[in-house]
Structure 1
């Protein structure tokens, strides 16, 4: 059978092209959706932080979140005022989440807190700084925690605190109270005191949770008082009143004197006449100011005292006849 030349060329062309079609189909089957680099770590906004510091000196400046197969970790960067190298940061881990990566397992270790582990963390976070552990038993709203303090060569105060929230051993189960929260806090400041740095561990708020009915790192609620709901068991409020008592100014009672005053002495007519006799009253003129010139008017008492012998007779006595001389002698005329 002899084939026509055009037909033979078409058959040869189809045979040579079939391997290329198979290769393209194979490559397209192996290709996946485009993905961003390191899809497990990304930056989130400050309002998505799972731990919020109390209002005060430290504010959130950035949040970095990382997903693991069994946990979610956030590193919350805080404002820093220190010469110590590094950033003030709070690390919070929520264990018990679902695995977002179907083809990998990057589980985050949830080993218990030991002295060796804490010392290793402090050396990595605050290298070259001698830290002293607090010998006290302290506790915030979520449970007990530990901390250590130290000073740098520039006299900056640093604090490293750690805490693990987990239900008690007898209360945990495979489907109940299986969550865990771990907190690490690294703070350094030039001016803050130890109490100010420690206040962050007492005032923070956990704003995150895991959507699972068995996730509860806080354990069950404490038992109620046995007296609640019982008879013959009255419970009284504390002595401190709910409303503050208004402050009142103290009232001082009026003091009445019981001493009797002596009556004023009575003046007799003789004493009155002596005090009102003319010439007995003397008055001293007030001195004038320096450099003042003026006429001083004497008082009537001073006029009588200055002229004791000058007596002016009345008109009835002037030109009186001799018959009237007896009356004059009797004292009627001067």
Structure 2
């Protein structure tokens, strides 16, 4: 009897639980498309522009693939991939992303998948941007497109991790192919991108200890000069030479040659003729012309000094 009673009670409890169930649908943790404003990393100002952002939430962080504008005949899409690892416990039950050390074989597989059909050569030059050292490989496609694949790991040093902090890590991958850009132009994107995401809590800080200011600031005897936004420890001359003024010259016009027998042509008066004090009035009889005496060999005649004024009417001057 007791056994039957317990079975009946268990059945009633199961029936009650089934009646109170909401029947909600749970969506599995899958990558989702988000807006560009929620991207954890941004390309530099001026491009390439963001096409879309796909985010995958993990149990120990977040992965984002930021697709960039592509102008190339090489198969595939330009992208900036960023992966935040270390924030364990924030998304339980969604699975954790495994950590893989940066290796030559792993990078070779990544490049073959991201830039198919293009032979990339790894640069042996040590380079670093605002977030630390990075590496890259570049090459040309058969059609002449320039391709670049860069990788970077942002992680604090081991000495900083011994203080029970700075355990976070950021993995960055950048794939760029362009039909008109050079290798140096594509490399400028690696120096110009910005990481805008961060971890909650100092324990996951991937950047390590905060660096102090430049010791030369405020110290006497250490001048700081402007040099394209940076500082340089070298003398700089004070003052500058002004640029020479440029004089614009119009077309040169040659004057007509004047021969000894050619008199200069004077401009004619414009408008009505106004009589002067020495000119006869209307209706008056004009005096006889005064005989001029040639004094020069150029053909220009000038009056004699004795024939000026009232003496011009004398018989000697009329000859």
**TM-score if structure 2 supplies the norm length?**
0.65
Equivalent position of 1:111 in the other structure: 100
Equivalent position of 2:55 in the other structure: 65
Structure 1 residue corresponding to 2:222, chosen from 236, 255, 270: 236
Structure 2 residue corresponding to 1:51, chosen from 41, 51, 61: 41
Equivalent position of 1:96 in the other structure: 86
Q: Secondary structure at the match of 2:16?
A: helix
Q: Structure 1: how far apart are the matches of 2:33 and 2:106?
A: 28
Q: Go from structure 1 to structure 2 and tell me whether the alpha carbon gap of 1:172 and 1:20 turns closer, same or farther (over 3 Å shift).
A: closer
How many residue pairs get aligned? The number is: 242
How far residue 40 of structure 1 moved from its aligned partner, in angstroms, is 3.9
Q: Go from structure 1 to structure 2 and tell me whether the alpha carbon gap of 1:98 and 1:149 turns closer, same or farther (over 3 Å shift).
A: same
Confirm whether residue 300 of structure 1 aligns to residue 293 of structure 2.
Answer: yes
Deviations for 1:51-70, whole angstroms, at most 9, x for unmatched residues?
01111230111001111111
Deviations for 1:171-202, whole angstroms, at most 9, x for unmatched residues?
11473011100100001000001111111110
Q: Structure 1: how far apart are the matches of 2:130 and 2:243?
A: 41
Q: Structure 1: how far apart are the matches of 2:42 and 2:224?
A: 33
**TM-score if structure 1 supplies the norm length?**
0.62
Q: Structure 1: how far apart are the matches of 2:44 and 2:134?
A: 17
Q: Secondary structure at the match of 1:171?
A: helix
How far residue 27 of structure 1 moved from its aligned partner, in angstroms, is 3.6
Q: Structure 2: how far apart are the matches of 1:217 and 1:198?
A: 24
Equivalent position of 1:142 in the other structure: 131
Q: Structure 2: how far apart are the matches of 1:250 and 1:152?
A: 48
Equivalent position of 1:186 in the other structure: 175
Q: Structure 1: how far apart are the matches of 2:69 and 2:226?
A: 40
Which stretches in structure 1 are left out of the alignment for 5+ residues? 1-16, 252-283, 290-296, 303-334
- Taking the TM superposition and a 5 Å limit, the aligned residue runs for 1:314-325 are none
Structure label with greater radius of gyration: 1
Q: Structure 1: how far apart are the matches of 2:243 and 2:152?
A: 51
Q: Structure 1: how far apart are the matches of 2:21 and 2:187?
A: 55
Q: Go from structure 1 to structure 2 and tell me whether the alpha carbon gap of 1:28 and 1:163 turns closer, same or farther (over 3 Å shift).
A: farther
Structure 1 residue corresponding to 2:26, chosen from 10, 35, 52: 35
Equivalent position of 1:25 in the other structure: 16
Which stretches in structure 2 are left out of the alignment for 5+ residues? 1-7, 230-237, 246-259, 266-289, 296-319
Confirm whether residue 167 of structure 1 aligns to residue 160 of structure 2.
Answer: no
Q: Structure 1: how far apart are the matches of 2:17 and 2:163?
A: 44
Asked if the contact 1:68–1:99 (Cα under 8 Å) also holds between the matched residues in 2, the reply is no
Equivalent position of 2:313 in the other structure: none
